[in-house]
Structure formats: C-alpha cells, structure tokens
Amino acid sequence: MKPAPFSYLAPRSREEAIDALRRHGPEAKILAGGQSLVPLLAMRLARPAIILDVNRIADLAFIAAGSRKIAIGAMTRQRTVEADATLGARVPLLRETLRWVGHPQIRTRGTIGGSMAHADPSAELPAVAAILDSSFTLQSARGLRTLTAAEFFTGYLTTALAPDELLTEVRFAAPPANAGWAFHEVARRHGDFALAGVAALVRMDGDRRCTDARLAFVGVGPGPVRVPDAEQHLVGRAITQAVADEMARIVQGALDPDGDIHASAAYRRHVAGVLAARAVLEAAGRTRVQA
C-alpha cells in the first residue's frame, strides 16, 4: 500500500504556503501531522497531484494562553497541547479529550489544526471546539477570515476551507474557572475511532442549579452535533441522575446517526444518550459555585 506518485512542496513560511495554495490550490493537499492523510494516501483513497507539507513553517505552532482567550497555532502538535501546563489549568477539558485522540505516537505528529481541518465525524477535537466559543482563522492570498465552529464544520470530512486557504489558528474562550467539564467516549479499544462520544461543559448558580450547559457529540453526525433541547432541559434544574436521564432521552430522540460496520445507528444513538448523562453528572460534580 504505497501512495500514488505526487509532487512535493515544503514551504518554510506562511507567505510561501499561501502563494503555493494560490497557484496550486485545487490540485494540492496540505500535509500537517499526516496521521489521517497518509493512511488515505497509502490506500489511494486520496490521490492529490501535489502534497504541500507545512511542517517546516515554524510560526504555525504556538500556544498563546491569555486570561480568557486562548489561541493555538494550527501546526501545534496534539502532544504539546496535552502536556502544556497552562492549558491544563485553564482548559482541562482539552487535556482530557486529547487522551482519547489516537495513541501517544499519533499525538506526537498529529496537530490541532490538522484534526479540525480533516473533520472526521468521529474526531474528538471538533466537539470541544463546538462548545468553547471557537474561532477558526483561515488565510489565503485573498485575505484573512474567521469562522465559528458551526460555520467551519460543514459536513462529512468537509469544512469551509477553500482550496486556496490555510487554517492558521484556532482560538477559543477559556471556560470560567468554576465551570464543570467532562469528556466521555466509547470505542472498541482505547484509541480506536469513537463510536460515540460527548464533550460537556456546565455552570451552576449558588443553589446548584444549572445556568448554562453545552454538549457536543462525536460520531453521531457529519460533524460535531449539538442538541439544544437537551442543553435547555438542564438549565434552571439541579443536575440529578433523574434529570440527566431525562436529558439522555431527549438526546436519543434528537440524534440521527448513520450506522456502519463498526456500530449501528441504534447503538450510537443509545450510547450517546448514556454518555451524555454520565458527562453532565461528572461535569456537575466538577463545578464550583459561581461567585
């Protein structure tokens, strides 16, 4: 299983990369971590004429963690984000989620931006982006634009990236320190593609009633899936097992996953609800009372 022949470019700067995309966009594929792309090339499911390797562009890898806003360069390795102490303190959800992304060897090369741009429906990081008020920065010779997660993830393995565009960074708002968070996933083996998963963020008031809840599901739709009715069900309520179970039934009623050889639609739908209940209870347990 060898890739079909391709031509190769390895720009050393963003400007070089942008110019290469301007000239070759439609026939070029960007190579970031390669942990998703190279298997596709090996199996010849993708046969781009040109591979544009952006691994030599040093300033695309960075972590800028302000007190509320966090910016992560697209080429930042997943392993780097996982190990970053500041991110671990500000956005513990990210470190927890990354534990589920492949294996350490994958995360050594895999990048934050690459995972987002590949937009696999069973990818974990897009779900986290979907609940963290994210903004995606896309750059081309035509200029710069920023998109929300909902605008960025447009379908199965599809994003709003134009053929001449490069994702340069993802920004998101660090959740308030008193927010509770959780990430749950079911896969056949740890590190396998998620069959279903959920990222959750909740906030409570002084009476332990939920004031804000966000859930994004993995593996049950073309991209990360939010279920507003389920989130609304929690607001104003104490998150008890009974409330979580009611919410889970709303989730199961709302989701419409596809089935495949790894898991049926019914299985994914059922498990998503179960994981949602576990996640909101765990997240509730992690909240601290808002001041």
Among the listed residues 48, 102, 126, 224, the single contact to other proteins using CB under 8 A: 102
Does residue 157 belong to the site contacting other proteins (CB under 8 A)? Answer: no
- Beta pairing partners, 217: 198, 225
Does residue 49 belong to the site contacting other proteins (CB under 8 A)? Answer: no
* C-alpha pair distances (Å), 40 with each of 33, 219, 259: 13, 19, 21
* C-alpha pair distances (Å), 174 with each of 17, 53, 87, 171, 204: 30, 31, 9, 9, 17
Q: 61 — phi, psi (to 5°)?
A: -110, 110
CA atoms of 142 and 112, how far apart (whole Å): 24
What is the largest distance, in Å, between two alpha-carbon atoms of the chain? 63
Does residue 43 belong to the site contacting other proteins (CB under 8 A)? Answer: yes
Site string for other proteins, 7-26 (x = CB under 8 A): xxxx----------------
Structural Rg of the chain based on CA atoms: 19
First-residue to last-residue Cα distance in the chain: 58
Considering the complex, state which of residue 192 and residue 246 has its C-beta at the smaller distance from other proteins. Answer: 192
The distance of closest approach from Cβ of residue 207 to other proteins in the complex, given in angstroms and rounded to an integer, is 38
* Of 7, 6, 13, 62, nearest in space to 166 by CA: 13
CA atoms of 120 and 157, how far apart (whole Å): 5
The distance of closest approach from Cβ of residue 256 to other proteins in the complex, given in angstroms and rounded to an integer, is 29
Site string for other proteins, 200-239 (x = CB under 8 A): ----------------------------------------
Among the listed residues 17, 51, 174, 274, the single contact to other proteins using CB under 8 A: 51
Considering the complex, state which of residue 51 and residue 218 has its C-beta at the smaller distance from other proteins. Answer: 51
Considering the complex, state which of residue 33 and residue 180 has its C-beta at the smaller distance from other proteins. Answer: 33
Site string for other proteins, 55-94 (x = CB under 8 A): x-----------------------x---------------
Considering the complex, state which of residue 7 and residue 158 has its C-beta at the smaller distance from other proteins. Answer: 7
Listed ranges 15-23, 96-104, 127-135, 267-275: which one lies at the site for other proteins (CB under 8 A): 96-104
Does residue 42 belong to the site contacting other proteins (CB under 8 A)? Answer: yes
Are 27 and 48 spatial neighbours (Cβ–Cβ below 8 Å)?
A: yes
Does residue 105 belong to the site contacting other proteins (CB under 8 A)? Answer: yes
Does residue 264 belong to the site contacting other proteins (CB under 8 A)? Answer: no
The distance of closest approach from Cβ of residue 81 to other proteins in the complex, given in angstroms and rounded to an integer, is 15
Total residues in contact with other proteins, by rule CB under 8 A = 31
Instruction: Tally Cβ neighbours within 10 Å of residue 43.
Output: 10
Among the listed residues 88, 92, 176, 191, the single contact to other proteins using CB under 8 A: 191
Report DSSP state, residue 121.
T
* C-alpha pair distances (Å), 42 with each of 8, 216, 276: 16, 31, 36
Residues 6 or more apart whose CB falls under 8 angstroms from that of 60 comprise 14, 54, 73, 74, 75, 76, 113, 168, 169
The distance of closest approach from Cβ of residue 44 to other proteins in the complex, given in angstroms and rounded to an integer, is 11
Interface residues toward other proteins, by CB under 8 A: 1-10, 34-35, 38-39, 41-43, 51, 53, 55, 79, 102-106, 108-109, 189-191
